Amino acid sequence: MTIRIIPPSPGSAQPSEEPNGAIVSIPTAATLAPQAYEQLLHSCTAAMPNEACGVLAGTIQRIDGGAPVVNVTHVYSILNAAAEDGVNNSFAFEPASWIQTLYHMQNNRQSLVGYYHSHPASPPLPSASDMIGIREAAARDTSYWIISLANSARQPVVQPYWIHNDPNGQLCCSPLMLTEIRI
């Protein structure tokens, strides 16, 4: 099984500066455990033609003093409230499902490392409505994964991003290189 990897754009590995002047290194890569990959694809294909959505659990580790790496070990689907309203090109976490998932993760001592959703008919690029949702949720310093199912003749495209503010305080979604999926 092959996965199409969209490499980070030049300069995305650059450290960012916090308001207090400290330099912070942002992740440039992500890994996805095999069972997490299967859960992710199942969640996204089962939701068709609607968008799937959910959260990712795992760790963020710095290896040998390099940039941090996002390691996803578990995928948790959350009901898409927008789909329940008949909207198939948008997603919104259904509140009760979202709270139940957070409690489950907390009880199992798991760390939230990201959010995901699918694009059933478009590439894995953050849309204008994705960026509005990120701003409204005040999601920062976390991963954001988009799974494109636009080309059903080929494999889904899994593209992780890192959400952060650039040195000017502007919201950014920097692509992460998906470095490992073992099937």
The backbone torsions φ and ψ at residue 163, rounded to the nearest 5 degrees and listed phi first, read -90, 125
Tokens of 131: 């960026």
136 belongs to the catalytic site: no
Which secondary structure element, helix H or strand E, spans residue 99, and what is its range? Answer: helix 95-107
> SS in 3 state form for 51-90?
CCEEEEEEEEEECCCCCEEEEEEEEEECCEHHHHCCCCCC
Distance CA 152, CA 139 (A): 30
Active-site residue (options: 17, 18, 38, 51): 51
Catalytic residue list? 51
